[in-house]
């Protein structure tokens, strides 16, 4: 079902500092910080030859990653995103297999403007999974 790794998301309390380390210490190409108020995050995209890293900082009072930062004050890996061809078929197959789809199960528009769903970490080795219809 799953295809390419689309991105790995890393939450951080300071996306500017995190981006500087990726740029200066690791020599990666990084974007300018972009505020995504609808998603409650400020994001920096790190472009790698085979995938992307997204550095996320909470934005606003209801950020969906604030709780994660509260539990992990220095930041950490937040989720991995895999591409799928058909998000509805994938969701239905996962639900039938017993995996828990977060929220109401309906795809939402993700940070890239494409439909996404999230899968509960308990079913996948403790890792939050995002599926994006590529
Ligand atoms: Co993501």
User: Residue 112 C-alpha to ligand 1 middle, in angstroms?
Assistant: 9
Mean pLDDT of 96-105: 94
Q: Is 130 a catalytic residue?
A: yes
Backbone angles phi, psi at 39, to 5 degrees: -105, -5
The model's pLDDT over 7-33, given as tens digits with 9 standing for 90+, comes to 999 999 999 999 999 999 999 999 999
**Active-site choice (54, 57, 130, 132):** 130
**Which H/E stretch holds residue 9?**
strand 5-11
User: Residue 96 C-alpha to ligand 1 middle, in angstroms?
Assistant: 24
Question: From CA 64, how far away is CA 46, in angstroms rounded?
Answer: 21
User: Residue 83 C-alpha to ligand 1 middle, in angstroms?
Assistant: 11
Q: List all residues 6 or more positions away from 55 whose beta carbon is below 8 Å from its beta carbon.
A: 10, 12, 15, 18, 19, 22, 30, 43, 44, 46
User: Which pLDDT value is given to residue 66?
Assistant: 97
Q: Is it the case that residue 111 has pLDDT exceeding 90?
A: no
Mean pLDDT of 53-70: 96
Indicate the domain borders of the chain.
Answer: 2-133
Question: From CA 33, how far away is CA 14, in angstroms rounded?
Answer: 11
> What confidence tier does 49 reach under pLDDT thresholds 50, 70, 90?
very high
User: Residue 102 C-alpha to ligand 1 middle, in angstroms?
Assistant: 14
Q: Which CATH fold would you assign to the domain 2-133?
A: 2,3-Dihydroxybiphenyl 1,2-Dioxygenase; domain 1 (3.10.180)
């Amino acid at each position: 079902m799953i295809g390419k790794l689309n991105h790995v998301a890393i939450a951080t309390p300071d996306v500017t500092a995190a981006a500087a380390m990726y740029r200066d210490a690791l020599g990666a190409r990084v974007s300018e910080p972009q505020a995504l108020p609808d998603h409650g995050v400020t994001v920096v995209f790190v472009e790698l030859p085979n995938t992307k890293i997204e550095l996320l900082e909470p934005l606003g009072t209801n950020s969906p990653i604030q709780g994660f930062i509260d539990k992990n004050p220095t930041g950490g890996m937040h989720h991995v995103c895999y591409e799928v061809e058909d998000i509805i078929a994938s969701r239905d197959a996962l639900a039938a297999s017993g995996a828990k789809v977060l929220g109401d199960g309906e795809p939402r528009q993700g940070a890239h403007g494409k439909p996404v769903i999230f899968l509960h970490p308990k079913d996948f080795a403790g890792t939050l999974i995002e599926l994006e219809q590529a």
